[in-house]
Amino acid sequence: MGHTVNPDREYRLLQQRLDRHITGAPDSPVFMKILRLLFSPEDAQMARQIPTRPISLNGLSRKLNIPREELGDKMTDMAERGLVIDIVFENKRYFSLAPVVIGFFEFTFMRTRDDFPMAELAHLFDQYMGQDDRFARAVFAGETQIGRSLVREESLPESDHTEILDWERASHIVESASEAGVSLCACRHKASHLGKACDKPQEVCLSLNFAAETLIRSGLARSISIDEAMRILEFAKEAGLAQTGDNVQRNVGYICNCCGCCCGMIEAIKSFDIRNAIVTSNWIMEVDLEKCTGCGKCADACPLDIIEIVMEGEGKGKKKWAIRDETLCLGCGVCYSSCKFGAITMKPRDRRVFTPETTFDRLVAMAIERGKLAELLFEDPRRLSHRALGRIVGILEKTPPYKAAMAVKPLRSAFFNTVVGAVGGMLK
C-alpha cells in the first residue's frame, strides 16, 4: 500500500464497487461528495477491495498484503465509523464492505457524533436518495425486499382460524432474540439535521440477535435487555409508529419503528410509486361499515396516507366511512390502534406473502431478481462452499423461469471471465 493514491480514481472505483452490491449505488456528483466525506482516499482504496461477503481478518490480510495486527486496527476504526461491518464468529473476526443501505447510511445516523459533518451529510443523502428515483429503484428493484411490514398482533381477530406464525409476531421476534440493542432511527435523525423531523421518538431502532452483537461491538447500538426491547416496542406502537422488520423468518436482525414522514422506505412508496418497497404483512385492513363513523382518525394515523373518508347523502341521512387502497395497504395495523369504535379489523390476504427463510436466501433471491447473482457468486469463488452452492441452486430451481433467465446470462459471462482469467494466470 506504499504507492501513491490517486483520490479521484479510488472514489470512482469505490462507487463502482458499491454499485455492484445487490442494492446498488448509482453514480452521481452528490454520491461522490458523500464518499469523500466518509472515506479518506486511503479508506477508499482499501474499502473497494473488501468483499461484501464476510472475509476473515487473516484472509483480508493476505489479500491486501497488510500485516494482520495493523489491518485489524484499521478495520476496527472503519467499523466504528460505520464503513465496514465487523463480525465475530467462533472467536474469529470477519469483515465485509457496508453497502449504502442497510449499511453506512444507517450507521452514520444511528447515533449522535462529532467525527462527521452531520448536517452536510444529511443534505447530501437527502439529495441522493430523493431528488430522483435512480437510487430508490436500485435498492427496491424486484419483488424480494429488505424489509417487511409486521402486523400489530392485537389487531388480529381471535376467532380467525388462519395460522399466525411466530416470525409474523413482533413480540415473539423480540422475546426470542439472543441479544438486543437500540439506536437512533437513522431516518428521523437525518431529518432532524434538515430541520424537518417529526415529533416521534428517535431512540427506537431495535437490532436483534447477531446484528445486535455486531452493532453493539462497533458502538453503533446501545446494549439493552430483552425486557427493555419489549418496552421500546410497545412505546413505539403507542406513538403511532409502524413496525418494519428484517425480511426473513429466522434470526431477524432488526425491527424499525417507522413514521410516514421520515422513513426512506415509505418515502420510496409515496414519492416514486415503488409500491412494494416494503413487503406487506399477510393481513389487510377491513372496515365494518356498521361501526365506522368516518371520524378520520385512521386516515390521520396511516403511515402511507392511503385511507380516505367518503361521504354520501345529506342531513340526517348523511353517512361517512373509511375506505383504503387495497393495492397499497401494508397490513401494519396502525389504523386499528387509532379506531375507538371497533370498526377496523385485519383480515388474512387471499395469498400468503413469500418471506425468505434466512438472510442468505433473501440475498440470493434479491440477486436473481436484480441480475446480480454473478456478483454474489464470483466475487471470490474460492470461498464459496459446496453447501452454499447447493442452496443457491435450490433457490434457482424454485424460481420462476423468467427470473432464473435473468440470472443465467450474467452468470455465463462471469463464469467465462473467471475461467479465462484462471487459464491466463496458468499460462503466465
Q: Residue 372: its pLDDT value, please?
A: 82
Are 339 and 298 in a shared domain?
A: yes
Residue 99: inside a domain: no
pTM: 0.87
Residues 353-395 have pLDDT tens digits of 999 999 988 998 898 888 887 777 766 544 555 555 556 655 6
* Cβ within 8 Å of residue 316, ≥6 positions away: none
Amino acid identity, position 284: I
> Given CA atoms 204, 260, 146, 52 in this order, what sign does their dihedral have?
negative
Residues 153-182 have pLDDT tens digits of 999 887 655 678 899 999 999 999 999 999
Q: Which residues are 27's β-sheet partners?
A: none
The grid cell for 15 is 462507487
Are 221 and 183 in a shared domain?
A: yes
Total domains present in the chain = 4
Which residue carries 440493542 as its cell?
181
> Given CA atoms 217, 222, 228, 231 in this order, what sign does their dihedral have?
negative
Residues 259-293 have pLDDT tens digits of 999 999 999 999 999 999 999 999 999 999 999 99
**Higher pLDDT residue, 38 or 315?**
38
Question: For residue 355, how many other CB atoms are within 10 A of its CB?
Answer: 20
Are 242 and 150 in a shared domain?
A: yes
Count of H-run helices and E-run strands, the chain: 19, 13
Q: Rounded to the nearest 10 degrees, how much is the dihedral formed by the CA atoms of 175, 177, 179, 185?
A: -80
The grid cell for 13 is 472505483
* Cβ within 8 Å of residue 412, ≥6 positions away: none
Residue 180: inside a domain: yes
State the number of CA atoms in the 13 A half-sphere of 231 facing the CB. Answer: 6
The CATH number given to whatever domain includes residue 43 is 1.10.10
Residue 235: inside a domain: yes
The CATH number given to whatever domain includes residue 321 is 3.30.70.20
Question: For residue 19, how many other CB atoms are within 10 A of its CB?
Answer: 18
Residues 76-106 have pLDDT tens digits of 999 999 999 999 999 999 999 999 999 999 9
Question: Residue 404: pLDDT band by 50, 70, 90 thresholds?
Answer: low
The grid cell for 343 is 370498526
